Amino acid sequence: MEESKPKIRLLRITIAALLAELIPLVILIIAVTAYGYIATPAQDKAALEAFAGKAGLYIGPIAGMLAALGMGFWAARKLTNSRLLHGLLTGAFIVLLDLAIFAKPKADFDLTDVLVLVGKFLAATLGGYLADRRYQNLPAEARESHRLI
């Protein structure tokens, strides 16, 4: 008897969206820590905060979109159908999480932030599309046997 899995795997989508939000933060922490210990070990806290602000302007959007692409692919890769839908839902959840972060009072929200949100959404959707294309490009005899679970 074969157990049927739900068509939309919300837990996988939620985990993917949370990881897509955490990965750029971890990368920024690593960059600031490396800058503080390797590049300028004798500088004060204000210099590190200034570097973190400047680095965050570049690391956040770029790493955020790459993380959204990877997590959209991850959320969709083990499914037998609706891979694009899972990438799209992952992107939507990432955007909702970002909007919740921007909802705090006195948060600056400008055109750059809108473009980053659209980019993350499109990147996660592209991840679902790439997972679907990967599955379609497999030979017919390997389509079901390549999955471990």
Q: What is the pLDDT of residues 29-80, one digit of tens each?
A: 999 888 888 877 777 778 888 888 899 999 999 999 999 999 999 998 877 6
pLDDT in the model for residue 149: 43
Quick check: helix, strand or coil at residue 47?
A: helix
Is the Cβ–Cβ distance between 140 and 86 less than 8 Å? no
Determine how many CB atoms are found less than 10 A away from the CB of residue 109: 11
Global confidence as pTM: 0.83
Rounded CA-CA distance 5/2 in Å is 9
**Domain ranges (residues) in the chain:** 10-137
Each residue of 91-129: pLDDT tens digit? 999 999 998 887 776 667 788 888 999 999 999 999 999
Quick check: helix, strand or coil at residue 40?
A: coil
Q: Which two tokens stand for residue 40?
A: 């300028």
